[in-house]
Structure 1
């Protein structure tokens, strides 16, 4: 039987419960249905009832704490021995805000989860994966490819993860270890719950778009179960794609990122995020100041 560790939960920036109902739960259940002994993780203070009820093995884990990762490895060794076939790095938090209004401390917490967490897991589990000639799956995002509005910091964390994953794939190739970077479109997940009540700060230059911003953080992404089925199927292939694009808008983004000019998406998002309205408001404000 194949063994895998699946870092299931989306880690919140502000201790908000979110273990149940995200793509993590969908993925771990899909792996289980494929005959994989999936070992899920949840934050130490999170509910695990949904995993226990589904008969899924789970352990507590905080990817930002090295001792927690070391303890997880000992628990996995007791179940799987020295071999780990699949490691899925899915822990992630979202921080939605304009670049100039960013709370840098919040971004540091996000990088600890989105970037340094996967690095820490690979560092401690690499020997088990190499022995199994296994697979590492890193869950990225289209945000790491295009200048998706209000996501500059999140986009930066995913770009960092994806480029690290890209090099990791090359470095692990002599050991016959496969590394898949999943470029995800928007998928139904709990990751947005942390931002659902976020508002632009008072006095922000983007205040004319306050209603648009509120609508953006309260959006509802697409089906997580369809996403899970496709990602799992790809990761179980003998020769999976190095970069696997799946989810809303990924086909169009992949095409124009490959064949379009570098600033192509500036035009697209300028229109989609109503930046013309912001520009008109700014010009009116400047005119009023000059008068």
Structure 2
């Protein structure tokens, strides 16, 4: 009789990609194990009958406690680890709060590193797979996302090397290049405003609309989960799996376009002409004042 297969997914709060992933693994007959932050509400997982444990990926002891719990549950096997836990930080690069970004790196980049470091033996024993949830933000210079984009670019390149290193040990590593997906990741950033005196102040209204937006044309998270889970269970999955709104166009331009192909597109999309005009006027006034 074949043993039960197990998939561990981090970051399974209500309304996110992680929740959709564990429900899809369960639908496919795999024992899904979800993680939630210590204070997070768990009703959505209890209703679905999904096993869950508390986890903060930034705390070593929390990861070790989870490993003990999972090891007991699975008898030391883990067929899939999905590093899904992550947060966003929306701000111009020049106005970045570095302390806030350090926390984001701790979750988005060092979190997956901790998980793989502590769970790799269980994954190797199962000849399993590691799935790292990346983003088109790690590919294109999407405005106001410099720091978030940096975390995803770092994760994606770390994942590349992890893939090569794990291959001799029989483990598959898949990087998901996610497009726009309908989740609630933006909700914790909706309060954010440009700091007083920012060079970007002429775009304060546009920035406010950006952080409070509902993404248009976003891919349904359950459809996304269906496709990602299918890839993770393949015997020979792709190294990078692009899925979600706009990934087709972005993949094409990233492959065949020049490095600055995005600049003019993003200039128009984010109304940077308005910023340039305001900046030119400001510099002219300062020069006139200085000559008086």
Q: TM-score, normalised by structure 2?
A: 0.95
Q: Does 1:123 align with 2:117?
A: yes
Aligned to 1:244, what secondary structure does the other structure show?
A: strand
User: How many Å separate the matches in 2 of 1:146 and 1:25?
Assistant: 27
Q: CA deviation at 1:90?
A: 0.5
Does the aligned pair in 1 maintain the 2:11–2:86 contact within 8 Å?
no
Q: Does 1:81 align with 2:75?
A: yes
Equivalent pairs counted in the alignment come to 282
Q: CA deviation at 1:285?
A: 1.1
User: How many Å separate the matches in 2 of 1:4 and 1:22?
Assistant: 17
Q: Does 1:226 align with 2:223?
A: yes
User: How many Å separate the matches in 2 of 1:224 and 1:56?
Assistant: 18
User: How many Å separate the matches in 1 of 2:269 and 2:51?
Assistant: 43
User: How many Å separate the matches in 2 of 1:25 and 1:32?
Assistant: 11
Aligned-residue Cα RMSD (Å) equals 0.9
Q: CA deviation at 1:8?
A: 2.7
- The superposition leaves residues 15-72 of structure 1 with CA deviations (integer Å, 9 ceiling, x where unpaired) of xxxx211111111111111111000000111111111111000000000001111110
Aligned to 1:191, what secondary structure does the other structure show?
A: coil
Q: Does 1:21 align with 2:15?
A: yes
Does the aligned pair in 2 maintain the 1:8–1:28 contact within 8 Å?
no
How do residues 156-195 of structure 1 correspond to structure 2 at under 5 angstroms?
Answer: 156-195=150-189
User: How many Å separate the matches in 2 of 1:72 and 1:110?
Assistant: 21
- The superposition leaves residues 200-247 of structure 1 with CA deviations (integer Å, 9 ceiling, x where unpaired) of 111110011111111111222322121111111111111111000011
1:12 paired residue number: none
2:37 paired residue number: 43
How do residues 1-291 of structure 1 correspond to structure 2 at under 5 angstroms?
Answer: 1-9=4-12, 19-221=13-215, 222=218, 223-291=220-288
1:14 paired residue number: none
User: How many Å separate the matches in 1 of 2:202 and 2:104?
Assistant: 27
Does the aligned pair in 1 maintain the 2:202–2:275 contact within 8 Å?
yes
- The superposition leaves residues 226-283 of structure 1 with CA deviations (integer Å, 9 ceiling, x where unpaired) of 1111111111111111000011111111111010101111111111111111101111
Q: Which runs of 4+ in 1 moved over 3 A?
A: none
Q: TM-score, normalised by structure 1?
A: 0.95
User: Structure 2, unaligned stretches of length 5 or more?
Assistant: none
Q: Which has the larger radius of gyration?
A: 2
